[in-house]
Amino acid sequence: MHIGPLVRAMGRNRTRFALIILEIALTLAIITNCLNIILDQRKGMAKRSGFDDDNLVNVAAAPFGTEWKDQSFVETTVHADLRALQALPGVKNAAATYFLPWQGGGSSGTFRTDGFNGKFQAQIYPTTFQLFDTLGVHIIAGRNFVPADTPVDPNAPSRVTIISSGLARKVWGNANPLGKVIASGEGKYPRTVIGVIDEFYNPYSWPIGDYVLFTPGRSWSTTGTYYLIRTQPGAKKAVLAELEPGLLKVNPNRVLRVFTISEIKDNFFSGSRIAINGMTALVIALILVTALGIVGMTAMSVTERTKQIGTRRALGATRGDILRHFLAENWITTTAGLVLGVAGAYALNLFLLSRVSDVKLPWQLVVAGMLLLWINGLLSTIPPALRATMVPPSTATRSV
């Protein structure tokens, strides 16, 4: 089959073919970028926090009553709460902390240290020493906090810190971080690194999730306290039933809110799930619309050229020749649309990079999109093309 005469024949209906080419180009540009965002969202949803998420529970205690205005009363109650929580059947450990996994934010600041050029951003949380066992992370270098690390004066800054391995690599590379000093961005509040934890991830509104400093301190106030509880595997339901009665027995003058970390994580990813479902529906709709467009165009061509097809059959063309003609016509149209669509896909990705996304479009995804639309085009052409092969040679003489 000669391509030149086929292209010239298609030129007689250039508007029809131009619209299909444009539709294919737009489909490739949109679906590749949608799939790129879907894959990035799924990658984020699959990322490990490094914590025992399935067995973690968060309790927020909001007190009422005049006794809670006394800081020493609050501190005494918090320690009594921790003892009560740790005594509950099925509880592995409990900690008082402002840190909440998968909250989508938290406390952060600007810091500096010797050996690192400039300042860096990191999360920072005061906590009791039970936190790391409660989260299910391990101290891979140095030691845990001890009660003596917490300043006696509640207004005094802490002097030591435990950091994530990600932060250690960021500021010191492979050097030993123990004994290094990290200060605030203004050079105040120097803290000596006494320990390093293995994994840490807490998604933030901007990318500082792997970098954190934990400090020994009072992670409570007269306005409320937050607890993290780690349960034994399979014991979470039983522990949830005992949490409120156990804490209210220590002091009833407060309102308690209980959440599992799995619920918080599901809520955090609700936006991602909506985006994935919406873009998946858009990809499917675009592919179907493109397929219907190709079916309609080919069917119209068959209808308009019924007599011509009959003439070709009368002159010796086989059904296979007729089928190959329409498949070749589709291949030319689809290829032209895909060539235009590749440029459109990268142009759209550049726009998204400048506005809403930071994920570059990989060439492998573009190639996959091209193959998908090639197959889609060929499959969409086959039904009307098969109808064309059924046109009998006698059609050429019916109007005579």
Residue 399 confidence class, pLDDT cut points 50, 70, 90: low
Do the domain assignments include residue 245? no
Nearest in space to 261 (alpha carbons), one of 99, 96, 40: 99
Q: In which domain, by residue range, is 166 found?
A: 98-218
Exposed (0-12), middle (13-18) or buried (19+): which is 80, by Cβ within 10 Å? middle
From 218, 235, 253, the end of a domain falls on: 218
- Of 218, 250, 284, the domain-final residue: 218
Residues 296 and 379 in one domain: yes
For the chain, the C-alpha Rg in angstroms (whole number) is 33
1 pLDDT above the threshold of 60: no
Question: pLDDT-derived band of residue 4, with 50, 70 and 90 as boundaries?
Answer: low
pLDDT of residue 12: 61
Instruction: Mark whether 212 and 281 lie in a shared domain.
Output: no
- Percentage, residues of the chain above pLDDT 70: 95
At 162 the pLDDT is 97
Q: Are residues 130 and 192 in the same domain?
A: yes
Confidence of residue 164 (pLDDT cuts 50, 70, 90): very high
Number of domains in the chain: 2
Res 168: pLDDT: 95
pLDDT digits (tens, 9 = 90+) for 76-129: 999 999 999 999 999 999 999 989 999 888 899 999 998 888 899 999 999 988
pLDDT, position 244: 93
In a shared domain, residues 286 and 387: yes
User: Could you tell me which residue, 156 or 140, shows the higher pLDDT?
Assistant: 140
Q: Which residue has the higher pLDDT, 388 or 293?
A: 293
* Pair type for strands 191-197 and 160-164: parallel
Q: Tell whether the model's pLDDT for residue 254 goes beyond 90.
A: yes
Q: Residue 209: is its pLDDT beyond 80?
A: no
Angstrom distance (rounded) from CA 244 to CA 255: 9
Token pair recorded at residue 18: 């131009």
Q: Which residues, listed in sequence order, are joined to residue 377 by a DSSP beta bridge?
A: none
Phi and psi angles of residue 374, each rounded to the nearest 5 degrees, phi first = -60, -50
Average pLDDT, the chain: 88
Residues 213 and 280 grouped into a single domain? no
Domain C-terminal end among 184, 199, 218? 218
Q: Is residue 337 part of a domain?
A: yes
pLDDT digits (tens, 9 = 90+) for 379-397: 888 888 888 788 777 665 6
118 in the same domain as 27: no
pLDDT at 313: 73
**Residue 54 within any structural domain of the chain:** no
313 part of a folded domain: yes
**Per-residue pLDDT, 396:** 56
Please give the single-letter amino acid code of residue 234: G
pLDDT reading at 25 higher than 90: yes
pLDDT exceeds cutoff 70 at 2: no
352 within a domain of the structure (yes/no): yes
Q: Evaluate whether residue 377 is within a structural domain.
A: yes
Would strands 212-216 and 120-127 be described as parallel, antiparallel, or unpaired?
A: parallel
Please write the tens of the pLDDT for every residue from 60-70: 999 988 888 88
Contacts of 72-81 spanning 24+ positions with Cβ under 8 A: 74/220, 74/221, 74/222, 74/225, 75/218, 75/220, 77/250, 77/251, 78/220, 78/225, 80/250, 80/251, 81/225, 81/227, 81/247, 81/250, 81/251
Provide the pLDDT for residue 400.
44
Which of 200-209, 257-266, 376-385 is predicted least confidently?
Answer: 200-209
Residues 290 and 362 in one domain: yes
Q: What is the pLDDT of residue 284?
A: 94
Answer yes or no: is 10 within a domain. Answer: yes
Q: Please check whether residue 303 lies inside any domain of the structure.
A: yes
The pLDDT of residue 315 is 78
Do residues 377 and 287 share a domain?
A: yes
Q: Are residues 279 and 368 located together in one domain of the fold?
A: yes
Same domain, 119 and 21: no
Claim to verify: residue 138 and residue 213 sit in the same structural domain = yes
pLDDT at 363 over 60: yes
Residue 195 has pLDDT above 80, yes or no: yes
